[in-house]
Amino acid sequence: MAKKRPKPKDPVLVRIGENLRKAREKRGLSQEELAFQAGVHRTYVGGVERAEYNVTVLTLLRFTKALGITVQDAIRGLS
C-alpha cells in the first residue's frame, strides 16, 4: 500500500506560525506558558507554530495580546 503524501502547508499559516514562534522565543516563553496566558491548550500552540491549524482571528488576538505584539507583527511578511 502506498504511503500518503503529507499535504503541503499553506505559506500564510507557515509565516504566521514563524512570526508567533519568534515573538514567543524573544520573550523567553515556553509553548506551555504562552498557551496558559492565551487560554488555549498547550498542544495547540505547537500546532499553530507548525502551520497545522488555521488559527482564527479571535485566537490570533489572544496570542498577540499574550505576546505583547500587534496583529501586524503576527502577519508581517504576508503579501
Number of compact structural domains in the chain: 1
Residue 2 pLDDT more than 90?
Answer: no
At 8 the pLDDT is 80
SS3 per residue for the chain:
CCCCCCCCCCHHHHHHHHHHHHHHHHCCCCHHHHHHHHCCCHHHHHHHHCCCCCCCHHHHHHHHHHHCCCHHHHCCCCC
Residue 6 pLDDT more than 80?
Answer: no
Please state the pTM of the whole predicted model: 0.89
pLDDT in tens, 22-49: 999 999 999 999 999 999 999 999 999 9
Q: Give a yes or no: residue 1 inside a domain.
A: no
Question: What is the domain extent for residue 43?
Answer: 11-74
Q: Give a yes or no: residue 79 inside a domain.
A: no
